[in-house]
Amino acid sequence: MDAITRRILEIKRERGDSLLILGHHYQRHGIVDVADHVGDSFGLAKAAAEAPRARDIVFCGVRFMAESAAILCREDQKVFHPEPEAGCPMADMAPMDSVESAWATITARLDYRGRKMVPVTYMNSHAPLKGFTGAQGGLVCTSSNAGKALRWAFERGDLVLFFPDQHLGRNTAKALGIREDEMRVWYPSKPDGGLDTLEGVKMLLWNGHCPVHMKFSARDARFVKKNFPGSLVVVHPECEQELVDLADGVGSTEYIVKYVAALPEGTRVFVGTEANLVDRLKRENPKLKVEFLTRSLCPTMYMVDREKLLRTLENLEGEEPVPMPTEVREPARLALERMLSLAPNPSLQQTLAN
């Protein structure tokens, strides 16, 4: 153990339960090794909301995750983000001016009359979009509970506007039995989102994607199946539908961790998700042959390192907590609490059976 890790552990001992370090699965190994909780965004959002004694929460992940913890935490808690510049390109694809303009355009259309639209927003989004979602009667979801979130929304309306990841929206809706001709992509840069009609449309998918998961393709899966007979492919639902359809397992980060851990000894499995997690799956499952479907690292997750974590921990009194204005926090909290009341789905496929 080196001096940085030793010092981090020393501060943790000194602070006891008043300090909570959360680390996303995509974080570097050195961060994961010192975190109190490691999980996906759903698990970490819950951990932040349910930490009774923690006063200072240090979130090692990207910006939207730290913001979600700041929305859910109590008045006496503060959330710190060791690298405020670590954002998420997918969250940036749904800026509020485009979102508000799309909402106004859709609700003003003649073929919208008599319908009710419910927004469903993926956790991987900025706080103001979560606030907008809560204020418009919608909810947040993660890849662990997107199926349940869509069911919730369709109990309250007949049209869902899904932000910002079109692939998670499409894959989840398909698993629920919504046909492809009932889904349309909304292109914010085109007049009327690029749509002539809303007739028969149940799902409007915002034109956003995760650049990290777009690196995996159906071609990769076909190559693997042809050249490594008997091997398995497991992917995240942020991947495109053609790949998801070919995969043996599809689910959230937490699902992928459990899926791999449960495989019989000697199995060769190709994993289509962020490289740091796949690296860790290799380390934690030495009796399996865990392979990268393609190596794809999230550069913004990678911006958080142990040095930045230590600097934050040593300056907690002087450090600026993640700001969260009340007018954003209250409606965003509503949208997040609606999500937290849903139990996660272990996989998209299982959603069909629920």
* Residue 140 or 210 having the CB closest to ligand SF4: 210
* Residue 300 or 345 having the CB closest to ligand SF4: 300
* Residue 125 or 312 having the CB closest to ligand SF4: 125
* Residue 122 or 154 having the CB closest to ligand SF4: 122
We find the least distance from the C-beta atom of residue 213 to ligand SF4, in angstroms, to be 6
As a whole number of angstroms, the distance between CA 253 and CA 301 comes to 14
Go through 332-351 and write b for each residue having 16 or more CB atoms within 10 A of its CB, e for each that does not.
bbbbbebbbebebbbbbeeb
We find the least distance from the C-beta atom of residue 309 to ligand SF4, in angstroms, to be 17
Find the largest Cα–Cα distance for the chain.
65
Query: How many CB atoms neighbour CB 187 within 10 A?
Result: 14
Q: In Å, how far are 123, 233, 283 from 262, measured between CA atoms?
A: 27, 14, 15
User: Is the Cβ–Cβ distance between 234 and 278 less than 8 Å?
Assistant: no
We find the least distance from the C-beta atom of residue 60 to ligand SF4, in angstroms, to be 12
Per this entry, what is the length of the chain?
354
We find the least distance from the C-beta atom of residue 106 to ligand SF4, in angstroms, to be 25
* Residue 124 or 345 having the CB closest to ligand SF4: 124
We find the least distance from the C-beta atom of residue 90 to ligand SF4, in angstroms, to be 4
We find the least distance from the C-beta atom of residue 141 to ligand SF4, in angstroms, to be 14
* Residue 54 or 123 having the CB closest to ligand SF4: 123
* Residue 122 or 132 having the CB closest to ligand SF4: 122
We find the least distance from the C-beta atom of residue 66 to ligand SF4, in angstroms, to be 12
- 99's enclosing H/E stretch is helix 96-108
Sign of CA dihedral 237, 46, 54, 317: positive
Q: Could you please report the per-residue DSSP string of 200-240?
A: T--EEEES---TTGGG--HHHHHHHHHHSTT-EEEE-TTS-
As a whole number of angstroms, the distance between CA 327 and CA 324 comes to 8
We find the least distance from the C-beta atom of residue 211 to ligand SF4, in angstroms, to be 6
Sheet holding 249-250, edge to edge: 249-250, 232-235, 268-272, 289-292
- Burial of 160: CB neighbours in 10 Å, binned 0-12, 13-18, 19+: buried
User: Is the Cβ–Cβ distance between 234 and 208 less than 8 Å?
Assistant: no
Query: How many CB atoms neighbour CB 227 within 10 A?
Result: 8
Residues that bind ligand SF4 (CB under 6 A): 62, 88-90, 124, 210-212, 274, 298, 300-301
Query: How many CB atoms neighbour CB 259 within 10 A?
Result: 20
* Residue 26 or 154 having the CB closest to ligand SF4: 26
We find the least distance from the C-beta atom of residue 192 to ligand SF4, in angstroms, to be 28
* Residue 211 or 321 having the CB closest to ligand SF4: 211
